[in-house]
């Protein structure tokens, strides 16, 4: 078990933040596995910190969170990153990858949400009108592809196309574009 796995992910994140904000005031190696240093806290206090990379839970810190307990606090993590800058760089890359992934997932989710809201907001008739108007401008080949795309969307969002069936029952037939279900298949 390393310092980083012994600490909570929150402590690692905050410890990295302390490291990058130069909160570690001093650091010196005591022996093969132990480092000691001083780390400034969030309210201007200074904490005495010792880390033991061979026995992470034997680390000490005078902060209220860690004092007298066998936990790895953010100050120990900050001291660890100061003693091992390569580990800090590795963690930075992990954070970056995680953020990129989160952004991608977030982007996809918001795109889907937007499609949802558009499909809900546009009255069914207007949606069909738009789709049909666009459909008629396409070449026969593109029309085929467009139909397939629409069918895919319909499969995915089937209920969106069907939800409003009840409202449509009273509508007069004949006016407007044909129901998409009549020209799509």
Which residues lie near Zn ion (CB under 5 A)? 61, 63, 66, 73, 75
By beta-carbon proximity to Zn ion, the closer residue of 24 and 88 is: 24
- Which two three-digit tokens encode residue 106? 């977030």
| H/E element, 82 | helix 74-83
Q: Which two tokens stand for residue 98?
A: 């995680």
Three-state DSSP class for 35?
Answer: strand
* Shortest Å, Cβ 66 to Zn ion: 4
Task: Please report how close the Cβ of residue 21 comes to Zn ion at its closest, in angstroms.
Answer: 15
Closest to Zn ion by CB, 61 vs 88, is: 61
What is the rounded distance in angstroms from the CA atom of residue 104 to the CA atom of residue 107? 5
Question: Smallest distance, Å, CB 65 to Zn ion?
Answer: 6
Comparing CB distances to Zn ion, the nearer of 47 and 161 is 47
Q: Least CB distance from residue 59 to Zn ion, whole Å?
A: 9
> Which two tokens mark 11?
């402590």
Q: 30 and 36 in contact (C-beta within 8 Å)?
A: yes
Which of residues 75 and 124 has its CB atom nearest to Zn ion in the complex? 75
Q: Which residues have CB under 8 Å from 104's CB, separation 6+?
A: none
């Amino acid at each position: 078990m390393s310092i980083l796995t012994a600490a909570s992910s929150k402590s690692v994140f905050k410890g990295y933040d302390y490291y990058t904000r130069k909160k570690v005031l001093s650091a010196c190696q005591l022996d093969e596995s132990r480092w000691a240093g001083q780390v400034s806290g969030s309210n201007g206090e200074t904490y005495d910190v010792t880390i033991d990379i061979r026995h992470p839970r034997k680390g000490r810190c005078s902060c209220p969170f860690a004092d007298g307990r066998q936990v790895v606090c953010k100050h120990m993590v900050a001291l660890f990153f100061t003693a091992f800058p390569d580990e800090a760089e590795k963690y930075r890359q992990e954070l970056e990858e995680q953020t990129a992934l989160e952004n991608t997932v977030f982007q996809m989710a918001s795109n889907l949400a937007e499609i949802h809201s558009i499909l809900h907001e546009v009255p069914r008739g207007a949606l069909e009108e738009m789709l049909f108007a666009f459909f008629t401008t396409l070449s026969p080949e593109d029309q085929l592809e467009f139909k397939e795309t629409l069918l895919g969307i319909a499969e995915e969002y089937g209920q969106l196309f069907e939800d409003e069936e009840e409202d449509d029952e009273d509508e007069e037939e004949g006016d407007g574009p044909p129901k998409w279900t009549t020209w799509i298949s």
